[in-house]
Structure 1
């Protein structure tokens, strides 16, 4: 087959006109479900630090001299 024949076949194949949205409807569905899943995972990490606030306060009291920062946070 020559290049011209391949181009002619590609042009003939691309000539059909259908409803493009119905042919590609799965892409938006997959994208929406993926972002919804990622939003669910992200929201599951809300207030994780508040769950362990008493442990963080106890650690801060026990190691107050080590946690004392001076200067530019060093």
Structure 2
């Protein structure tokens, strides 16, 4: 086969892309972003979960405990 024949045959082929092929990428991306959002959401308020434990540790060590900005009184 010559190069001209290969190019002619390649040009003659029609390639149809179905709707699901295009939508499939969007669905996969959506699932990945939702999963990453759930992981991010699960780390919400982690710093305050053990605030009493952290304060007790700081008091035992003689460190000054700052409570500003985290809802402590």
Q: TM-score, normalised by structure 2?
A: 0.66
The equivalent of 1:7 in structure 2 is: 7
Kindly tell me the number of residue pairs found equivalent between the two proteins: 63
- Per-residue deviation at 1:64? 3.3
Structure 2 CA distance, aligned partners of 1:12 and 1:25?
27
**Structure 2 unpaired stretches of 5+:** 65-73
Distance verdict in 2 for CA 1:8–1:44, change over 3 Å: same
**Structure 1 unpaired stretches of 5+:** 68-74
Alignment of 1:41 onto 2:34: no
Structure 1 CA distance, aligned partners of 2:39 and 2:31?
12
Query: What's the RMSD between the two structures over aligned residues?
Result: 2.3
- Per-residue deviation at 1:21? 6.7
